[in-house]
Each structure stands twice: as C-alpha cells, then as structure tokens.
Amino acid sequence: MADDKDDQRPLHSDPDEGAIDEPTTSGAQEADETAWMMKEGITVGLIAIGAMVLLGLGLLQGSGLVDFFAPIADSGVGQWLALGVLALAAVALFAWSRVGV
C-alpha cells in the first residue's frame, strides 16, 4: 500500500509541505527534495554574494575611491543612476529566482 501512495505523490512539490507528518519514503522523493534544496541554497548564495559586491562597489563609489562607472556616465548623478540600475537588476534577478518556489 505504501508504494501506491508514493507513486501518486507529485514530483517537484514543496518539500516542507507535510514534512513532519510524512517522512521521505522513496528515493525519487528524496532526490527531488535534495535537488530543490540545492537549487535554493545556490541561488540564495549567489544573490547574496552579488549583493555584497554591489554594496562594496557602492561604498567605494560613494567615498570617491573609484569611478567604476566613468566610461558609462560622466557626471556623479549618472554614475549613481548606473549603480541604481545594477541594484534593480539584482533585485529583479532575486525575484525571478523566487518564482515557482
């Protein structure tokens, strides 16, 4: 009977749903949950690293130590706008990574 129930469970489901009531009983379900957790961990890690690099770049830009966006924008306002566009792109990337989770 337990095998019939495992065959009916949808793959790619939220692994936290019913985790206490129903422990992992099949290899396919375990593999699916592991792949989901790895995707989540890698995505959050990469976004966090990118955000820290962006924060460091903004701090260097604000202190005047670097003019990273000088080839793109000549004025200070233009350079801050370029940094803002990068920040919005990072937020959009994070939001896109959360779709379907």
Neighbours of 1 (CB within 10 A): 5
Q: How far apart are CA 26 and CA 8, in angstroms?
A: 12
Name residues whose C-beta falls within 8 Å of residue 78's C-beta, 6 or more positions apart in sequence: 69, 72
- What's the whole-model pTM score? 0.57
Pick the range with the lowest mean pLDDT from 6-20, 60-74, 76-90: 6-20
* Residue range 26-44: mean pLDDT, rounded: 84
